[in-house]
A and B are shown apart, each in its own frame.
Chain A
Amino acid sequence: MLKEGHIRIPAGCAISGIMNKKGEVTSGQEIIKSIAVMHDRSNGLGGGFAAYGIYPEFKNHYALHLFFDDKKVKQETEFLLNKFFSIDLAETIPIRKINAIKNVPLIWRYFVKPKIKEMALHETESEFVVNFIMRINSEVEGAYVFSSGKNMGTFKGVGFPEDIGEFFRLDEYKAYSWTAHGRFPTNTPGWWGGAHPFSLLDWTIVHNGEISSYDANRRYLEMYGYKCTLQTDTEAITYIFDLLLRKFGIPLESAINIVAAPFWSKISRMNPDEQKLFKALRVVFSSLLINGPFSIILGSKNGFMALNDRLKLRSLVAAQKGDNLYIASEESAIREICKNPDKSWAPKGGEPVICLLDGKESLYEFDQVDENEFEHHSVAL
C-alpha cells in the first residue's frame, strides 16, 4: 500500500485550539481533554498537537522535530544537519510507553542555528531553513521533519489524539497557545508523518475538510519552489499562507480574502477602492482560492487564526472567556474545558476569528529583511 506522499488520501477530522492573549502558559492537559470529547470524529489513524512557548530556554534556536525509519537514515540526515546547521542539543523526544500507540519510529529533536556560510547570497535565513526541510522531506527516504519553528513544537503520530497527547507527555509542557487535531482518513497505512498538525517554521495548521481546488493550488505553489510531498490539503494550505504572508508580504486580511474570497456579487457592491483591491486579489491570486469544505486553525508564534471556507461547509465554533479564546469543530469540545464562556459563536463562512498576543499586530512579522523579496520577484521576467 502506498503511503502518504505517494497517493492522495481524503480525511475528515476534529480540530481544537486554546490560546491566552496575555501569553500565560498552561499545560497540555486541557487541550487533550477538549479533543478527546470529539473522539468519534477521529478513527485512530492520526492525532497531533502544536504548542507555542514550550522551549523558552532555546527560544532563538530552530527546534527541528524529526521521525526516522531507522538508525541508518538518522545518520544520513544528521550528516546533512551538521553540514548546514550548528546543533546545540540533540535528544530523543521524551515519551510515555502506552499500549494504544504502536509501531513507533525514532523520534528526535535538534535545537539548531543555521551556518551563515552555507547560505546562498540572496537567501534569507527563513528561506534557508525552508529549503533544507524541503530537501530532507523530499529526498531523504525514511526521514521526515515534522516541526521546525522557534520556541514551539508539534507532536503527532498514528493513534487517537488523546493517546498521542499522553504518549508525548504533553501534560509536562507549558504553552500559551495550543492546537489539536484528530484525523479520520478514509484510507491510510498509518504513517506518522501523515498525521497533523502540519508545520513549517513557526506556522502550524490543523485542518478539517477536503478541498476540491487541491491540484490547482498545488500546481501554483510549485511554481514558487514548494514541494507538496505529502499531497495533503493541510500541507498546501500551509504553503499558501507562507507564500502570501512571508514571501509576498500580503496582509493577513487580504490573504484571507484570497483563500476564502468573497463572491463577485458581493465585490460588486463594495465601494470603488475596496472593489479595486478585492478584484485585484481575486484576479491575480485566483489559483489560491481554496474551494470546497474546510475549517482551519492557522497558528504562529503571535497567535492563531481560525477560518471556514466561504460556504461554511464544515463546522467551526469559537468562544471567549477572559483572556482565553477557544476554537473547536464542536461546541461540546469547548464546554468540556470552559463551562461558561463569556460568549460563544459560530463564525460565518470566510469570516476569520483572529486571536493575537497582546501587542502583536499580525500573525507574521518580517524578522528578516524580507522587503528585498519584492526585488527578487520583480526581476523574474
Chain B
Amino acid sequence: MSINCLTPAFLIERDKDRCIDCQVCVRQCANEAHRWDEEEQRVFSEDANCVNCHRCVVMCPTKALHIKKFPLEFRYNANWTQEAMRAIYLQAETGGVLLTGMGNDRPYPIYWDHMLLNASQVTNPSIDPLREPMELKTYLGRKPDFLKIKNGKLLEDIPPQLELELPIMFSAMSFGSISLNAHKSLAAAAKKAGTYWNTGEGGLHKDLVEHGDHTIVQVASGRFGVDADYLKTAAAIEIKIGQGAKPGIGGHLPGEKVGEEVSQTRMIPLGTDAISPAPHHDIYSIEDLRQLIYSLKEATEYQKPIFVKIAAVHNVAAIASGIVRAGADVVAIDGFRGGTGAAPLRTRDSVGIPIEFALAAVDTRLREEGIRNKVSLVVGGSIRNSSDIVKAVALGADAVYIATSALISLGCHMCQKCYTGKCNWGIATQDPQLTKRLNPEIGAERAANLLKAWAHEIEELLGGMGINALESLRGNRLMLRGIGLTDRELNILGIKAAGE
C-alpha cells in the first residue's frame, strides 16, 4: 500500500475542562470524526474525518468543541496552493474525478456587491411600508402583447399564470439528493408563504402530492418520476436543460442512495444508479425543445406554464431568445455559483458565467428583440439575501430561485460534502438515522420565516425608492449604480457608475 499524502483539513479542538465524555459528538457525527475509546473511557477525535459541518459544535452540551483550519503550513507558494496540492494527492490516490457539493466557492467577483440601490430624497417621497400598501405579488407566465376589451369585458383569457405572493421560489433539488424531510419542509413553507417549491428531477413523493398546487415539477434528461399524474398534479412544469453548478453535464445518484422511497418516487429499480444523461436524448436542437414544450402543454391541456431552465453560459442571451421563441412561458437561468448535491469540482469551479451578467444580457437581448414582455425571467445561482433579490429585479428578473439559502435556513452549514450522503443535518442524505434529525414542521417554519423576513426587507428597500409595487422595479436599472466596476462591466450590466 502506498503512503497517504493527505493531511487533515480541519483540527478538532476539545476543551478538556469542559468535555464530560457524554458521547453526543460520537453519536452525532456520521463521518466518524469522534470516537469513544472503551479502554480509556474517553472521547477522541479523528481530525482527518472532520468536514467542518459544525453539527458536533452546535450539539455539544458543554460547548467543548472548536473546529479550526488544520494549522499545517506548506512552504509559501502563490501558485502551488494547499488546495492545488491536496487535489493532486487525492487524485493520485484514487484516479478519480474530484467531486464536490454546493456552489462554486472560488473568489470570483460577486457583482451583487458591486451594485448599489437608490433611495428617494426630497424630489419624490419615499413610501413607508408600515403605513402604505406595498405589493410584491408577481405573476409568472406568458403574456400577450395586448388585450382585447369590449364594454368593460375581457374578450380573450390570458395564458395560465403562476401567482406568487413574493418574488422568491425554492429552486430544484431532487428527492435523492436531499431527504424527504427537506422536501416536506420546503413544500410546506412554499404553501405557507404563497409561493412554489420545485421537485428537481427526482419525482414527487406520494406524501407531497397534497402540495401539488404549490409545486413545480421538473422534467429532466433522466425523466425520473415523470408520468401523466406527476404533470397534472403540479402548478407548473420545468424542463431542465442545465444547472449552474454543472452546465453541460448530467447527474448521477449512486445506487446506495436509491432506497425504497427514492426508488418508488423515481420509478427505478431499488439500488440502481440513477443516471441523467448530459443532454435530453430527444433534444439536440432548439426545434426539439419546442416539441417537448408543446408535448407537455398538450399533456396538461395548456393549463400550466412551462418553464425552461438553463445554466448561465457564454451565449446565454441568444439561447434564451430561442427558448422564448420555442414557446416557453418562463425562462429560468442558473448562474455559475448555483449549488448542487454533487458535481465534478473542475466543472463547478470553472464553467459558466455569473448570474448578474447573464440576467442583464438576457433581459437586454429580449428587449432588443421586443419579446421580453412575452415571458417571465427567473434567476438563481447564489441569491444570498433580500438586497440581492432587489438588485436582480432591478436588472430585469421577475422572480428569483433560492436553494442554498433555503438549505441554510434548514440548518446546512455549507461543508460542501453533500455528495457523501453523510449530511449530519439530515438534509443531503437518505440515511434514516440522519434524516430524522430534520423535523419537517420546524423546517417549514424556518424556511417560511426566511421568506417572510426577506419580504419585509424587500418592502423596506422598495419603499425607500418610492416604489409600492414590485413590477415598477422590474428592469428599472436607473435604481442601480455600479461601484468598482470597469466601463465594460457597467455596459454589460446596463447601469451607470455611482456618482453619475
Residues of A participating in the B interface, judged by any CB pair closer than 8 Å? 8, 10-12, 186, 209-216, 219-220, 222-224, 248-251, 253-254, 261, 263-265, 273-274, 276-277, 280-284, 286-287, 289-293, 310-311, 313, 374, 377-378, 380-381
Task: Give the CA-CA distance A264 to B135 in the complex, in Å.
Answer: 8
Which chain A residue has the least Cβ–Cβ distance from B393? A216
Q: Which residues of A contact B154 (CB under 8 A)?
A: 273, 276-277, 280
- Chain B residues within an 8 Å CB radius of A263: 133, 135
Q: How far is the CB of A247 from chain B (nearest CB, A)?
A: 8
Contact between A277 and B149 (Cβ–Cβ < 8 Å)? yes
CA distance A291 to B132 in the complex (A): 13
Excluding A10-B123, A219-B475, A287-B474, 9 further A-B contacts by CB distance (< 8 Å) are A10-B124, A212-B465, A212-B476, A215-B479, A223-B370, A291-B468, A293-B466, A313-B124, A381-B371
Q: What are the nearest 8 A-B pairs in CB distance? A: A213-B472, A291-B472, A286-B471, A212-B466, A215-B478, A210-B124, A10-B123, A248-B146
Q: A89–B139 Cα gap in the complex (Å)?
A: 52
Q: Which of A186, A216, A380, A381 contacts B474 (CB 8 A)?
A: A216
Residue of A nearest to B158 (CB): A280
Given contacts A10-B124, A215-B476, A292-B466, contact A381 B146 (CB under 8 A): no
B residues 362-380 near A (Cβ < 8 Å) are 367, 370-374
Q: Cβ of A283 and Cβ of B139 under 8 Å apart?
A: yes
Q: Report which of A12, A210, A273, A377 forms a contact with B146, defined as CB distance below 8 A.
A: A377
User: Would you call A250 and B149 a contact (CB within 8 A)?
Assistant: yes
- Tell me the nearest residue of chain B to A211, going by C-beta: B124
Interface contact B471-A289, CB-CB below 8 Å? yes
Q: Is B281's CB within 8 Å of the partner chain A?
A: no
Cα separation A213 to B472 with both chains bound (whole Å): 5
> B97 interface residue, CB < 8 Å from A?
no
Q: Which of A212, A220, A280, A286 has the most CB of B within 10 A?
A: A212
Contacts of A261 in B (CB 8 A): 469
The residues of A that contact B473 with a CB separation of less than 8 Å are: 213, 216
CB of A286 within 8 A of CB of B474, answer: yes
Structural contact, A381 and B325, CB atoms closer than 8 A: yes
**A311 and B132 within 8 A (CB):** yes
- Per the 8 Å Cβ criterion, residues 101-134 of B in contact with A are 120, 123-125, 127, 132-133
The answer to whether the Cβ of B153 comes within 8 Å of any Cβ in the partner chain is yes
The answer to whether A212 touches B467 (Cβ under 8 A) is yes
CA of A282 to CA of B154 in the docked complex: distance in angstroms? 13
Measured between beta carbons, the chain B residues less than 8 angstroms from A287 are 373, 471, 474-475
- Which chain A residue shows the least CB distance to B495? A215
| Cα-based distance from A311 to B472 in the complex (angstroms) | 14
User: Which one of B133, B161, B373, B468 contacts A220 once the chains associate, using CB atoms below 8 Å?
Assistant: B373
Closest A residue to B478 by CB, please name it: A215
Task: Name B's A-contacting residues (CB within 8 A).
Answer: 120, 123-125, 127, 132-133, 135, 137, 139, 143-149, 152-154, 157-158, 161, 325, 367, 370-374, 465-469, 471-479
B475 touches A292 (CB 8 A): no
Task: Kindly state the separation between the CA atoms of A276 and B156 in the bound complex, as whole angstroms.
Answer: 10
- A248: B residues at CB distance < 8 A: 145-147
Task: Please name 18 pairs of A and B residues whose Cβ atoms are closer than 8 Å in the assembled complex, sorted by A.
Answer: A10-B124, A210-B124, A215-B478, A216-B471, A250-B149, A254-B147, A265-B133, A277-B149, A277-B152, A280-B158, A283-B161, A287-B475, A291-B472, A311-B127, A313-B124, A313-B125, A380-B145, A381-B325
Kindly report which residue of chain A lies nearest to residue B474, judged by CB atoms: A216
Q: Which of B132, B133, B147 has the most chain A CB atoms inside 10 A of its CB?
A: B147
Scoring B371, B466, B479 by chain A CB atoms within 10 A of each residue's CB, the highest score goes to B466
B133 touches A216 (CB 8 A): no
**Given A289-B469, A291-B468: A223 in contact with B372 (beta carbons within 8 A):** yes
When distances are taken between beta carbons in the complex, the residues of chain A under 8 Å from B153 are 273, 277
- Is A216 a contact of B135 with CB atoms below 8 Å? no
B476 touches A254 (CB 8 A): no
**A343 CA to B133 CA in the complex, in Å?**
31
- Contacts A277-B153, A378-B145, A380-B145 hold; do A283 and B158 have CB atoms under 8 A apart? yes
- Whether B125 pairs with A216 at a CB distance below 8 angstroms is no
The answer on a CB contact under 8 Å between A280 and B467 is: no
B85 CB → nearest A CB, Å: 49
Residue with the greatest number of chain B CB neighbours at <10 A, chosen from A219, A220, A290: A219
A212-B466, A215-B479 known; A289+B146 contact, CB < 8 A: no
Residues of A within 8 A of B148 (CB): 374
B124 near A292: Cβ-Cβ < 8 Å = yes
Residue of B nearest to A285 (CB): B147
**In whole angstroms, what is the CA distance A231 to B350 when docked?**
41
Chain B's nearest CB lies how many Å from the CB of A266? 9
The one of A219, A274, A311 that contacts B468, using a Cβ cutoff of 8 Å: A311
**Residues of the B chain whose Cβ atoms lie less than 8 Å from the Cβ of A289:** 469, 471-472
Kindly provide the distance from the CB of A265 to the nearest chain B CB, expressed in whole angstroms: 7
| A314 CB, min distance to chain B CBs, angstroms | 9
From residue A359, how far is it (CB to closest CB) to chain B in Å? 20
Asked whether, in the complex, the Cβ of A280 is within 8 Å of the Cβ of B147, the reply is yes
| Docked CA distance A215–B466 (Å) | 13
- Interfacial chain A residues near B125, Cβ < 8 Å: 293, 313
Q: Which residues of B contact A220 (CB under 8 A)?
A: 373, 475
Contact (Cβ within 8 A) A186 B146: no
| Chain A positions within 8 Å of B157 at CB level | 276, 280
Minimum CB–CB distance from B184 to chain A (whole Å) comes to 30
A271 to B144, alpha carbons, bound, how many Å?
Answer: 23
> How many Å from the CB of A274 to the closest CB on chain B?
8
Assuming the contacts A212-B472, A287-B471, A311-B468, asked whether A223 and B124 have C-beta atoms less than 8 A apart, the reply is no
Shortest CB-to-CB span from B472 to chain A, Å, is: 4
Chain B nearest CB: distance from A220 CB in Å?
7
Query: Are A291 and B135 in contact (CB-based, < 8 A)?
Result: no
- Min Cβ gap A282→B in Å is 8
Cα(A322)–Cα(B52), bound, Å: 82
CB neighbours of A313 from chain B (8 A): 124-125
B147 to chain A, nearest CB (A): 6
Whether the Cβ atoms of A283 and B466 lie closer than 8 Å is: no
Q: Which residue of A lies closest to B368 (CB)?
A: A223
B133 close to A250 (CB less than 8 A)? no
A152 to chain B, nearest CB (A): 27
The CA-CA distance from A55 to B325 in the complex, in Å, is 48
Contact A377 B479 (CB under 8 A): no
Bound: A310/B468 CA distance, A: 10
- Residues B466 and A291 in contact, CB atoms below 8 Å apart: yes
Q: How far is the CA of A313 from the CA of B367 in the complex (A)?
A: 31
A260–B478 CA distance with the chains assembled, in angstroms:
21
- Which residue of the partner chain A has the closest CB to B477? A215
| Nearest-neighbor residue (CB-CB) of B146 within chain A | A248
From B124, B152, B325, B371, give the contact of A212 (CB < 8 A): B124
Instruction: Kindly identify which residue among B147, B465, B466 contacts A284, using a CB–CB cutoff of 8 Å.
Output: B147
Selected from A210, A251, A273, A380, the residue in CB contact (under 8 A) with B370 is A380
CA distance A254 to B151 in the complex (A): 10
CA distance A274 to B152 in the complex (A): 8
Nearest CB on A from B462, distance (A) = 9
Q: In the complex, A287 Cα to B371 Cα: how many Å?
A: 13
Contact A250 to B124, CB < 8 A, known contacts A216-B476, A263-B135, A291-B469: no
Question: Which of B123, B137, B161, B371 has its CB near the most chain A CB atoms (within 10 A)?
Answer: B123
* A15 to B473 CA separation, bound complex (whole angstroms): 27
Chain A residues with CB below 8 A from B372, complex form: 223
B149 touches A254 (CB 8 A): yes
Identify the closest chain B residue to A251 (Cβ): B149
Q: Are B467 and A292 in contact (CB under 8 A)?
A: yes
Q: Which of A263, A274, A286 has the most CB of B within 10 A?
A: A286
Which residues of B sit under 8 angstroms from A11, Cβ to Cβ? 123
Determine how close the nearest CB of chain B comes to the CB of A370; give it in whole angstroms.
12
Residues of A within 8 A of B123 (CB): 10-12, 186, 210
